Amino acid sequence: GENVEQHPSTLSVQEGDSAVIKCTYSDSASNYFPWYKQELGKRPQLIIDIRSNVGEKKDQRIAVTLNKTAKHFSLHITETQPEDSAVYFCAIRGAGGGNKLTFGTGTQLKVEL
Amino acid sequence: DGGITQSPKYLFRKEGQNVTLSCEQNLNHDAMYWYRQDPGQGLRLIYYSQIVNDFQKGDIAEGYSVSREKKESFPLTVTSAQKNPTAFYLCASSTQSKETQYFGPGTRLLVL
């Protein structure tokens, strides 16, 4: 099945700094790459996604970049704020049947004042 | 994602007992999914259903069962065969034409 590795597992930044989380995958036919944010005890919420025909997508302070050749994609958060503190998950959708997502193991982001 | 509800919020299971987790959506989504979340392991797919009366096993289906008799509902039963059921269970749904999955608030299952 599909496999996705996410790094780092924890990330601590100062408020205002940038944060970058990277995911690598093995299935070159993967075609959809969402990022979810999960606050403690809450449901995961989609924050941005990208499809395989696009290299970069931005939404205000959040951006995702995709390198299909190297099979990795990254989440970039600029001007971090305390409310960005949460666990972030990447996911991939393989080329197999259905809309199955395979998730990374998550990154605990802590934005310090 | 406010249109997906899960109940109960907390559930306690005794040894040898089957328990059923509820998932309902009013988003008119065709596809529904069940994930299990353990600390440090992300979300793992248990079962998914793309249409009423049809469902497929995910990566960790052993010890679980589902049904999809109605479009709005996708209950998950944790059977006594699941030896380590303590986890946070998340239900999600999506349309057939779009990949985005929306999650419910989750059910935390604990073993007594």
Question: Contact A6/B42, CB-based, under 8 Å?
Answer: yes
* Chain B CB within 8 Å of residue A105 CB: yes
Neighbours of A3 (CB within 10 A): 12
Tell me what pLDDT residue A99 has.
81
Q: Which residues of A touch B56 (CB under 8 A)?
A: 98
Residue with tokens 């997502």: A101
Confidence of residue A66 (pLDDT cuts 50, 70, 90): very high
Q: Which residues of B touch A92 (CB under 8 A)?
A: none
- Give dist(CA B112, CA B105) in Å, integer: 23
> Quick check: bond before A34 cis, omega within 30?
no
Q: Which among A1, A42, A89 is the nearest to B43, CB-wise?
A: A89
Residue of A nearest to B38 (CA): A105
State how far Cα A99 lies from the chain centre: 18
Q: Which among A44, A93, A98 is the nearest to B50, CB-wise?
A: A98
Residue-wise pLDDT tens digits, B15-40: 889 999 999 999 999 999 999 999 87
**Tokens linked to A107:** 């990154």
Tell me what pLDDT residue A102 has.
93
pLDDT of A3 above 90: no
Which residues have a Cβ under 8 Å from the Cβ of B18 and sit 6 or more positions away?
B77, B78, B79, B80
Sheet containing strand A19-25, strands side by side: A4-7, A19-25, A72-77, A62-67, A56-59
The residue count for chain A:
113
pLDDT of A1 above 80: no
DSSP string, chain A: ---EEEE-SEEEEETTS-EEEEEEES-TT--EEEEEEE-TTS--EEEEEEETT-SEEEETTEEEEEETTTTEEEEEE-S--GGG-EEEEEEEE-SSSS--EEE---EEEEEE-
Find which of A101, A105, A107 to mutate to test the B interface (most B CBs within 10 Å of its CB): A101
Q: Which residues of B touch A100 (CB under 8 A)?
A: 45, 48, 58
Confidence of residue B2 (pLDDT cuts 50, 70, 90): low
* Chain B CB within 8 Å of residue A9 CB: yes
Residue of A49, A64, A72 whose CA lies nearest to B99: A49
Neighbours of A107 (CB within 10 A): 22
Question: Contact A101/B101, CB-based, under 8 Å?
Answer: yes
